[in-house]
A and B are shown apart, each in its own frame.
Chain A
C-alpha cells in the first residue's frame, strides 16, 4: 500500500465576548451561580422571540474580514432542529445555506465559511461517570445558553496533527488581536471539532472522514487527531473500510469512542427562522469593521521579514504569538543602536521562550527593556553568550537589571588583561599534542584547549577572544 496522507479540516466554535447574549439582553457570564442570567428568550419560554445582537453581528463581520472572507450583504438565520435538554427551544438558531461570510484563508488554510449562531446551555451530569450515560441525574445551567458563537469552518487543507495545532494557534492569535473573544479553550470560549480522513499520497479524491467532537485544548486536538489517524491507518492496513461516524476523544485514556454512526446522524430539518428577518450587512457596516481591523499575524510576519530583517520562521513565531511579538517590538525599541532586531528576536524567540514556555512574556519578570540591555551587553562583548544565558536565568527568576547582575555575580567577559593569557598558556601547556596540531593548521584540535579555558573561567571567556590569544601565543 502506498503512503497515506492525512487530510484534516477543522470546525471551530468561538464564543464572542459581547456584553449580552446573541438573541436577548442577558449578560454573558462565566462562573456565576447557575441560572442567574436567564430570561424568557434564552429559556425558550412560550411566546418569547429572538432579536439579533448587533454587536455580535459586528464581531462576526470582523472575523469574516480578518479571514479574508466575503461578507454576504444578506444572510439568513435558520432553525436547526433537535431535542436535547441543553437546547430549550428544541432548535438552535444558526445559519445554514446563507452564512455571514464565505471563503478566505488564514495562513496556508482556506476558510470555507464563517457563520453566527447561539450556544447551547450547559448540562451537568450528576454521578460518577460525568457523562449522561450512567448519571444519576442531569441538571441544566442556562447561563451559557444563547451565548453568541461564531463557527469557522476550514477547507480540508491540513495534513498533520502538528500543523493543525499550530494553525489553531494562529487562529487564536488572530481572534485575540481582533478583541472578539477570550479564546480560552479550557473555559470553552474556543472549541474545536476535527474532520479526519486518509488517502493515498498524491491522490486528489478524499477518503471517508470521521468527525472528532469538542476537543478542549490544543494538545488534545493534536493527540486526538493523531489517535484517529492511527486508528484509520490500522483499519486500512487490515483491509477494512473507515466508517463515517462521529467520535469522542477521551484525553485521559487516549481512546476514541463512537458517538453516532452515519445511520444515526441527525436530520436537523433546517428551515429559515421565521422569527428573524434576514441579516442585512450594509457596505457601511463592512467598511466600519474593516477600518477597525488591527494588524493581523500574517501582515505582522511580513513586516518583520521585510522591515526588521527577521528570517521567516522567527518572523512567524513572533507574529503568530501576539504577546511575544509585542514583547519583541518593545525590546527592539529599547535596544542600543546597532543591535540588529534579528539578534533580539533570537533571544526572545529562542532563549526567552525556552525559559517561559507558553506563559505570557508580557507578565514575565524580565522586562523587554532588561532583555534589550542584556543583548546590548552581549553585542558589546561585555558578557559572553554563556554569561548572558546565565544572566537571563536570573532575570527570568527574579527580574532586575542585567548590568547589575553581571557585576554582582562576576559574569563579565574576561579580557587578556584579566589573566586570560595565563589561563590560555596553561591550557596549551596541558595539551602539547593538540597545540602542535593547531600550530600545523588543524583548527579542530582547538577543542580540548578551549574547553579547558572555559572550564577554568566558568564560561566568562569569549570563544573568539580565546582563539585569538591561542594563535597569538602559538605564533609567538
Chain B
C-alpha cells in the first residue's frame, strides 16, 4: 500500500483488520520515517513491533509514539531530562501497557520539555523540537515531540500528558487533535510526575475519531493509582451529527485580551460554523479564570518541588560525586542534571511551601483553584461546553520566549483553568493563520468526554482542516 501515510490511525487499523494492510509493513513505514526525521521529535525508536497483534486486537498493530516521561520497561525513559539520561525503568506505565495489550506496539519515545515544564519544547535536556509547519518555530509543549511526530506523519498517533495545557497547546500549534481527559480517568502509574494533582495522559491524534479510539483504551481504574477512577461509560466512536441544541459558552475572560488576530479570526469562524450546525453561542463568565495562571504557577511548582526530590543521585540517574559528603553530592548532581526552568520551578515551589509562606501562597492558590472549579460548575449549569481558542498565538519562533518566562507562561493562559478544575478539554485544529495552525478548545464537565468528542467531530467535519502539508 503506497499511501499508508494518508490513512488516519483508525483507517489504518481497519485496513489491517480487513487484510488490506500488513501491520509489520505499517510499522516499518513509520519506523523508517521516524528514523529519518529532522525535527528532533524522537529520543528513542523501537527496532521492531514485537509480537504481531492478535486478529481481534482493537488497535490492530497501529504503532504508538509515547512521550518520554512514560516509563517503559527496559526502554530509556528520561522525561526529557539529563538527570535521567539513559535511565531504563524496570516496569511499564499502565497506560502504555493497556495500549500495547490493545494492539498498539511502541514505535518510540518522543521529545518533551524537561519534566513536562514548558510550552515550547525548548526546555528539553536533549534539544528542541521543530514545528513541521515551519521549522524555525516551536511545536508547543510540553508534549512537543508527540505533537510534531503526529503532525509530520512520523507516527500515526501518540500519547502525551497535560498538566496546564501540555497536550492541547502543542496539538493546536501543530494542527492536530489533543485531548486532556478528566482527572482520574487515566492511570498516572508509570508517568514520571510533574504536578500530581494536575497531570493526565491523553491522546494526540490526526483527527477526533483517532482520539476517541485511543482514549477508549487508556481510561479505567488502575489499582496502582489511588486517584484513578472507573470511567462511567465506554468511550464511543463519534458518529455523524450536528450541534442542534448544544449550548456553547464563550468565557469573556479567556477570549478577549491577548488573543492574536489570526487566532481570533479562526475562532470566530468556528463559532459561526457551530451556529450553522445548530448550536447556540453565548458569552459566559469564569470570573476567577484570570487568576488561574497565578494559582497554577504556585500549585504545580509546589508539587513538582516534592516530586523531583527523588532525583538525588543516590539510586538511579545522574550522580556527580561530591567532596566526600552527602550534601555536595546532592547539590552537584541536581545542579548538573536539571535545566534552568526546572530549577526555577523547584525554587518557586519550595518557597511557596515554606513555613510562614504556605498560607499566603500555596494555601491561597488552593482557594483560587476551588473558586475556578465553582466557576466551571456554574457555567455548566447554563452551557454544555465552554469554548476558547486553545492558544492565544500560533507557533512562535524558536528562541523568542526562552528569556522571558512570563511570556512563555502566557501560552497556557486558555488551557490552565481546566486541569485546575479537573475537567476534560479537547483542542481541534480550526484553520491556518499565516500558514500556521490555530486550535479550538472545547471543555466540558467531568466525564463528558463522549459528548466533547461528539461535538468536536461535528465541528471537525464542518471545518475541514487539511493537515497533509505538514506530512509532506
Contacts and interface: CB of A to CB of B under 8 A. Distances in A.
Chains A and B come from one and the same complex: yes
B226 A90 contact: no
Contacts of B197: 274
Contact of A46 (B84, B306, B312): B84
Contacts of B90: 40, 45
Contact of A83 (B195, B302, B309, B316): B309
B312 A49 contact: no
Nearest to B91: A40
A89 interface: yes
B224 interface: yes
B77 A90 contact: no
Contacts of A277: 226-227
A275 B227 CA distance: 6
A232 B226 CA distance: 48
Given A83-B309, A271-B306, A49 B84 contact: no
Interface in A23-59: 40, 43-52
A292 interface: no
B196 A275 contact: yes
Contacts of B188: 47, 49, 275
Contacts of A81: 305-306, 309, 353
Given A40-B89, A85-B326, A269 B226 contact: no
B309 A51 contact: no
A47 B190 contact: yes
B306 A49 contact: no
A24 to B, nearest CB: 9
A46 B355 contact: no
B326 A46 contact: no
B195 to A, nearest CB: 8
Interface string B354-365: 110010001000
Given A44-B315, A46-B77, A271 B362 contact: yes
B71 interface: yes
Contact of A79 (B79, B306, B355): B306
A184 B429 CA distance: 64
A76 to B, nearest CB: 13
Contacts of A91: 306, 309
A396 B362 CA distance: 65
A240 interface: no
A269 B347 CA distance: 13
Contacts of B79: 46
B315 to A, nearest CB: 6
B226 A47 contact: no
A276 B312 contact: no
Contact of B89 (A46, A51, A52, A140): A46
A90 B189 contact: no
Nearest to A136: B324
Contacts of A69: none
Given A49-B188, A51-B223, A269-B355, A90 B309 contact: yes
A267 interface: yes
A297 interface: no
A314 B188 CA distance: 58
A88 interface: yes
Contacts of B330: 83
Interface centre among A46, A52, A271, A277 (most CB of B within 10 A): A46
A3 B353 CA distance: 43
Given A89-B309, A271-B362, A51 B224 contact: yes
Nearest to A46: B192
Main SS at interface, chain A: loop
B35 interface: no
A120 to B, nearest CB: 13
Indicate the size class of the contact surface on chain A: 20 to 34
Given A40-B91, A269-B350, A88 B226 contact: no
Interface string B179-210: 00000000011111101110000000000000
A49 B310 CA distance: 13
B20 interface: no
Contacts of B226: 49-52, 275-277
Interface string B160-171: 000000000000
A47 B310 contact: no
Contacts of A269: 305-306, 350, 353-355, 358
A305 to B, nearest CB: 47
Interface in A243-297: 267, 269-271, 274-277
A45 B314 contact: no
Interface string B299-330: 00011011011111011100000000010001
Nearest to B351: A269
Given A47-B190, A267-B355, A89 B227 contact: no
B354 A44 contact: no
Interface string B225-253: 11100000000000000000000000000
B297 interface: no
Nearest to B191: A47
A216 to B, nearest CB: 24
A219 B90 CA distance: 45
B465 interface: no
Contacts of A140: 314
B93 interface: yes
A40 to B, nearest CB: 5
Contacts of A267: 354-355
A84 to B, nearest CB: 8
A388 B100 CA distance: 79
Contacts of A47: 69-71, 77, 89, 93, 188-193
A46 B71 contact: yes
Contacts of A52: 226
A39 to B, nearest CB: 8
Interface of B: 69-71, 77, 79, 84, 87, 89-91, 93, 188-193, 195-197, 223-227, 302-303, 305-306, 308-312, 314-316, 326, 330, 350, 353-355, 358, 362
18 contacts: A40-B89, A40-B91, A46-B71, A46-B192, A47-B69, A47-B89, A47-B192, A48-B190, A49-B225, A50-B226, A51-B226, A81-B306, A89-B310, A90-B309, A91-B306, A269-B350, A271-B353, A271-B362
Given A45-B71, A79-B306, A274-B227, 11 more contacts: A40-B91, A45-B90, A46-B84, A47-B93, A47-B188, A48-B91, A90-B308, A271-B358, A274-B195, A275-B227, A277-B227
Listed from nearest, the 10 A-B pairs whose CB atoms lie closest are A90-B309, A274-B196, A269-B353, A274-B197, A46-B192, A47-B190, A47-B71, A44-B310, A267-B355, A47-B192
Interface of A: 40, 43-52, 79, 81, 83, 85, 88-91, 132, 140, 267, 269-271, 274-277
